[in-house]
Amino acid sequence: MEDSTKNSKFKGAFALMTSLFFIWGAIVSLNDILIPHFKELFDMNYTETMLIQFCFFGAYFLMAIPASILIQRIGYKKGISFGLVTIGVGALIFLPASWLLSYPLFLFGLFIMATGSVILQVVANPFIIVLGPPETASSRLNLAQGINSLATTLAPLAGGLIILGHYDSVEESAAAVEGPYLGLAIFAFVIAVVFSFLKLPKIINTDGEKIKGNVLKFKRLKMGVIALTLYVGAEVAIGSFIINFLGEPNIAGMVEKKAATYIPLYWGGLMVGRFLGSAILQKISAQKVLLISAFASVFLLAITILSNGYIAMWSMLAVGLFNSIMWSNIFALSIDGLGKYTNKAAGILVMAPVGGAIFPLLQGVLADMPAIGLHMSYILPLLCYGFIIYYALVGYKPIDGELEKVEA
């Protein structure tokens, strides 16, 4: 009877946590709509436009440790509500930013929203992992990430229809973002109120215990941080350039609004792959599935770089399917067997999305170079997946004497 009650609580807690994955999925994918919209609105080059991703994902690097400290002090339940309110406040900043036609204020709003997302992820990722048997942790995280991908599929489709288009003035163009982000703010505030009244099972230690030791001395974690940083960088960079890439004459020559309808195919690939991955990972190890996915991503990007037209277009979009399981598998492999160090390790791994700040910006620099251009700039994410192949082969394996080094 006790086990039945426990399982029931775990299922309810899992269902609630997936709503958080949905919210930050919507926020991340809407950036792909803002990129071409702001590029035209403020007449910027690729490097300047990628400051959108730099400011958003830079928050993961700057705010992950403060977020972990905050969660230790106020607990995970209050942390969830605080993170949601922070997202809502950041979204509301888009209103004065549009009135003032201020790109820096838009970037500040994105940074605040990302800070809220960091707080939620510090709680949600390890929470999902411990909601059941360790051997199926990757499966549960993939299922939750599937909900995240549902948002990344739907949000750019709706956002593209509302935000992108032809406007008679810059004021009209700037005002196009007000409705979606006001709606996002209201939704975040409502969910924050709901969570404040809910009872969740206490399965994560947030009683303020200080765990001593340098967890980065665990090889699987250190290599996992690098792999996760490169994965997020590659995933975000590819998504960021979809509209501009499909607008290239030698690819598809699409106008922005039509190209935006293809963004859901990229993120939808993640959604399909994550739901499939949740089932596949019940039978096949996380390491093997990660290795196959990384090889497939390198192969598809090589085709993208070496071809033109619809072959290049579809091979690039298909990478989304193989991106699907990478976050959850790398995350699970990185903290596998860390015991009492799990929460501290998770706080460090949540910093890994800083790759989404660095690599789209670097790809923007490459795309702005006449000798390279947008098409050839996809060599950067290809190299990122190359390291993930290494991680899936040997980087995840622990080494003898790690625990003694950590506790020394």
Tell me how far apart the alpha carbons of residues 124 and 402 are, in angstroms, rounded to a whole number: 27
**Global confidence as pTM:** 0.78
Q: Higher-confidence residue: 61 or 404? A: 61
Question: According to the model, what pLDDT value does residue 12 have?
Answer: 67
Tell me how far apart the alpha carbons of residues 238 and 265 are, in angstroms, rounded to a whole number: 12
Question: According to the model, what pLDDT value does residue 207 have?
Answer: 46
pLDDT band at 1 (very low <50, low <70, confident <90, very high): very low
pLDDT tens-digit profile of 209-256? 566 667 777 788 889 999 999 999 999 999 889 999 999 999 999 988
Question: According to the model, what pLDDT value does residue 157 have?
Answer: 84
Question: According to the model, what pLDDT value does residue 189 have?
Answer: 94
Question: According to the model, what pLDDT value does residue 16 have?
Answer: 76
Closest CA to 323 of 346, 350, 300, 351: 300
Contact 290, 330 (CB under 8 A): yes
pLDDT at residue 95 greater than cutoff 90: yes
Q: At what angle do helices 178-197 and 137-163 cross, to 10 degrees?
A: 150
pLDDT more than 90, % of the chain: 39
Tell me how far apart the alpha carbons of residues 272 and 56 are, in angstroms, rounded to a whole number: 26
pLDDT band at 391 (very low <50, low <70, confident <90, very high): very high
The string of DSSP letters for 50-86 reads: THHHHHHHHHHHHHHHHHHHHHHHH-HHHHHHHHHHH
How would you write 158-225 as a 3-class SS string?
HHHHHHCCCCCCHHHHHHCCHHHHHHHHHHHHHHHHHHHHCCCCCCCCCCCCCCCCCHHHCHHHHHHH
Tell me how far apart the alpha carbons of residues 258 and 164 are, in angstroms, rounded to a whole number: 10
Question: According to the model, what pLDDT value does residue 135 have?
Answer: 66
CB under 8 Å to 205, separation ≥6 — which residues? 343
pLDDT band at 311 (very low <50, low <70, confident <90, very high): very high
Nearest-5° angle of CA 100, CA 112, CA 263?
85
Q: Higher-confidence residue: 382 or 46? A: 382
Question: According to the model, what pLDDT value does residue 4 have?
Answer: 41
CB under 8 Å to 16, separation ≥6 — which residues? 195, 198, 200
pLDDT at residue 275 greater than cutoff 80: no
Contact 178, 95 (CB under 8 A): yes
Identify the structural domains of the chain with CATH numbers, from first to last. 2-407 (1.20.1250.20)
pLDDT tens-digit profile of 147-201? 887 888 888 888 888 888 788 888 898 999 999 999 999 999 998 988 888 776 6
Q: At what angle do helices 219-240 and 263-280 cross, to 10 degrees?
A: 150
pLDDT tens-digit profile of 109-120? 999 999 999 888
Question: According to the model, what pLDDT value does residue 3 have?
Answer: 45
Tell me how far apart the alpha carbons of residues 304 and 314 are, in angstroms, rounded to a whole number: 8
pLDDT band at 91 (very low <50, low <70, confident <90, very high): very high
Read off the tokens for 281.
């990972």
Tell me how far apart the alpha carbons of residues 48 and 38 are, in angstroms, rounded to a whole number: 10
Average pLDDT of 42-71? 87
Tell me how far apart the alpha carbons of residues 62 and 72 are, in angstroms, rounded to a whole number: 17
Sign of the torsion formed by the C-alpha atoms of 195, 197, 200 and 205 = positive
